[in-house]
Amino acid sequence: MLKNNRKGLKLYEFLKYVLFAIVLIIIVGSVFSLFKKKNTGEVLKPESPSEIRGKKALYSDLGRLRIPTADIHTGTLVVFPVLEYNSEDKAFEEELVQKKEDIRKSLIDWFSQKTVYELYTMPENEVKKEVLAEINSILNLSRIKRIYFKDFVILE
């Protein structure tokens, strides 16, 4: 019995030293990593939101438009257009602000010539392509790259 107790005591001592060594390695490694110089050669600079998006900006000041359709029993289209353009072109941004009402009017004119059936059956890409051409025909300094519709609801 005494021999068995002695083996347990030696095992306990051995495990105590192993645990002590593991804790010591963790502490030394942590201290070493704190004081180690980080010289990777690369300087990380925070990216601005425009660099992340690829120098694109969104113009949403046209707001939500309620447009009557060309039907005999008029339906209503509720649309919220958002225009994508180059964020670095400040002159073009000013042109968008100046021609906001002209753009709104052209959108209202274009959509009001369509019936509910035409709006339902016309592919989304076709609508965007034609509306984009209509808007770009008004602008002089640059072009709108894409158009998105935050809302596009047809009420009958």
User: Mind listing the pLDDT tens digit for each residue in 43-54?
Assistant: 555 444 444 456
In order, the DSSP letters of 81-144 are EEEEEETT-HHHHHHHHHTHHHHHHHHHHHHHTS-HHHHHHS-HHHHHHHHHHHHHTT-SS---
Mean pLDDT over 10-39 rounds to: 84
Is 30 inside any structural domain?
no
User: Is the model more confident about 54 or about 65?
Assistant: 65
Question: Residue 148: which CATH number?
Answer: 3.30.479.30
Q: How many domains does the chain contain in total? A: 1
C-alpha torsion sign, points 114, 115, 118, 123: positive
Residue 52's pLDDT is 44
Is 31 inside any structural domain?
no
Instruction: Determine the structural domain holding residue 91 and report its residue range.
Output: 54-155
In whole angstroms, give the CA distance from residue 57 to residue 64: 19
pTM for the predicted model, two decimal places: 0.63
